[in-house]
Amino acid sequence: MKKDARIETRAIHAAAEYDGGVGAVSVPIYATSTFRLKAPGDESGYVYSRTANPTRNALEKTLAALENGSRGFAFASGLAATNTLMNLLKAGDEVVVGDDLYGGTYRQFERVLKNFNLKFIYVDARNPKNIEDAISENTGMIWLETPTNPLMHLYDIEAAAKIAKKLGILLAVDNTFATPYIQRPLELGADIVVHSLTKYLAGHADLVGGGIIVKDEELGEKVGFYQNAIGAVQGPFDAYLCLRGIKTLAIRMERHSENASKIAAFLKNKKNVKEVLYPGINGERLPNKMRLPGGMVSFVIDADFETVKRFVMGTSVFVLAESLGGVESLINHPASMTHASIPKEIREERGISDGLVRLSVGIEHVDDLIEDLEGAFRTFEKVPIR
Ligand SMILES: *Cc1c(COP(=O)(O)O)cnc(C)c1O
């Protein structure tokens, strides 16, 4: 593969060297915990699978190639990646956080990492000035997830990177919703990209995994140290599945975006829908270098908790489930599901109302998806709407 190959090609060929020495076109699963050494203390090759495993390495190399980083790291889950990353900080440090984020990340910040005397300051990062204003001499990191889960807020990564560079602070971006096919934060100046591989990168709802990608080699050495020292690594079977999923990332993201755009437009015309949250749908410009709007659509139904619950139970193609990013469409009620770990007052303050519904739009035929939603909207005909 040429060094400047395009992302569609990198997704398929970046790990070609991991062919098991026999020319295997698909990366083998190295189900081994340890490796035969040539002599005591020999560290010239693989030693132990927590430290390095060829199947995991093939995935890590692919992640780095996709995000245009120098090093990639694979973990047992997205939250394991986040937890490992936070070891770059020390007690007393502050993290400035874009205030709409995955509920599990919020829970880890507030209920785990706070006990280690890290402080998290939440700001509306749609305006980069709010980030700058929240920075103090103790700030060690800026954490942004964009588009955000579940409100689909868009942040200007380039603007945040300028602030981070100027003040010598690390900028970490959770790129789970967009994927490197849609935006590449390292190219926009971020220091670190974090992924839940569970979602679009694996893409088939068949594993849990996490990733970290960095550009700076010294930073890569540090993350590599913590990956091995903490040990929350991904196993070879899941790494294999994830690699397999990544090969079709480009065509999946195209179809996810195409279907989701049509569904967002359909929802905008529905009288029971108060608001549609989807990049670009309300006339806003997509941030620089965001290639497509993606496959996630949130919307607000003007109805009470019980009616909304009935709505999300009223589809048959859309599966009622947490998670996102697989080929199959999912429907989720954040207030009672993915974001239930955020206290109700904080949830409502941030706009995660009882009427909010989040769709992970899959790659089925879009007409079947729209007909399915039409069916769920018919539940409103039986009960009066507020
Ligand atoms: C799911 C998710 C995570 C956490 O990843 P896990 O693999 O579930 O641990 C982090 N960030 C975002 C945006 C997510 O959607």
Residue with tokens 């980030």: 131
pLDDT of residue 287: 84
pLDDT of residue 380: 79
Q: Could you tell me if the CB of 234 is within 6 A of ligand 1? A: no
Look up residue 139 and give its two tokens: 């700030």
Instruction: Return phi, psi of residue 245, to 5°.
Output: -65, -40
In terms of Cα–Cα distance, which of 368, 188, 379, 361 is closest to 278? 361
Q: Could you tell me if the CB of 196 is within 6 A of ligand 1? A: yes
Q: Could you tell me if the CB of 150 is within 6 A of ligand 1? A: no
Asked whether 271 and 251 are in contact (CB, 8 A), the reply is: no
For ligand 1, atom 9, name the residue with the nearest CA. Answer: 78
Residue of 30, 102, 122, 278 marked active site: 102
- The single-letter DSSP state of residue 28 is P
pLDDT of residue 383: 57
Asked whether 278 and 333 are in contact (CB, 8 A), the reply is: no
For ligand 1, atom 5, name the residue with the nearest CA. Answer: 78
pLDDT averaged per 10 residues, the chain (length 386): 92 96 97 96 94 98 98 98 98 97 94 98 97 98 96 96 97 98 98 98 98 98 98 98 98 98 97 95 88 97 90 96 97 90 87 94 98 92 60
Residue 181 annotated as catalytic: no
For ligand 1, atom 8, name the residue with the nearest CA. Answer: 78
Q: Could you tell me if the CB of 147 is within 6 A of ligand 1? A: no
pLDDT of residue 257: 98
Pick the atom of ligand 1 nearest to 79's CA: 9
Give residue 101's region: left, alpha or beta (phi > 0; psi -120 to 50). Answer: beta
Query: pTM for the complete prediction?
Result: 0.96
Q: How many Å apart are CA 284 and CA 290, to the nearest integer?
A: 13
pLDDT of residue 177: 98
Pick the atom of ligand 1 nearest to 197's CA: 7
Q: Could you tell me if the CB of 174 is within 6 A of ligand 1? A: yes
Paired sense of beta strands 71-75 and 273-277, if any: unpaired
Domains of the chain with CATH codes: 7-246 (3.40.640.10), 250-381 (3.90.1150.10)
Q: How far apart are the CA of 274 and the centre of ligand 1, in A?
A: 27
